[in-house]
């Protein structure tokens, strides 16, 4: 596995996972801090803020799963890019297939 394949298959996937984890953690915390300030009256009812936080986590999770499947799933973007780069690096062999 070369650096290009490693970067797409491993490094970008780890960064993607850390980004999703950050969204799942910080979006509800920001909602709580913005809508339920500690030194003032709450802007929304705490139950509504909790419901919005759960909804936000569900939406983030669904979008993350769809994005992951698009990028690293069977015949995903990463698979096609690595195959195209491997085909282009072989001397004397032309590939009629483009990503």
Q: What is the pLDDT of residues 27-41, one digit of tens each?
A: 999 999 888 888 888
Domain count, the chain: 1
Residue 95: inside a domain: no
Each residue of 2-19: b (16+ CB within 10 Å) or e? Answer: eeeeeebeeeeeeeeeee
Residue 98: inside a domain: no
Determine the pLDDT at residue 92. Answer: 64
Domain extent at residue 53: 3-89
Residue 99: inside a domain: no
Residue 94: inside a domain: no
Lowest pLDDT segment from 18-22, 24-28, 52-56, 87-91: 87-91
C-beta of residue 87 within 8 angstroms of C-beta of residue 80: no
**Once rounded to an integer, what is the mean pLDDT over residues 82-96?**
74
């Amino acid at each position: 596995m070369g650096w290009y394949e490693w970067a797409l298959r491993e490094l970008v996937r780890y960064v993607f996972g850390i980004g999703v984890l950050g969204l799942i953690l910080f979006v509800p915390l920001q909602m709580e801090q913005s809508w339920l300030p500690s030194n003032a009256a709450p802007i929304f009812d705490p139950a509504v803020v909790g419901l919005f936080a759960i909804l936000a986590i569900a939406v983030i999770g669904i979008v993350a799963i769809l994005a992951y499947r698009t990028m690293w799933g069977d015949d995903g973007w990463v698979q096609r890019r690595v195959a195209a780069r491997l085909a282009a690096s072989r001397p004397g062999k032309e590939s009629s297939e483009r990503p």
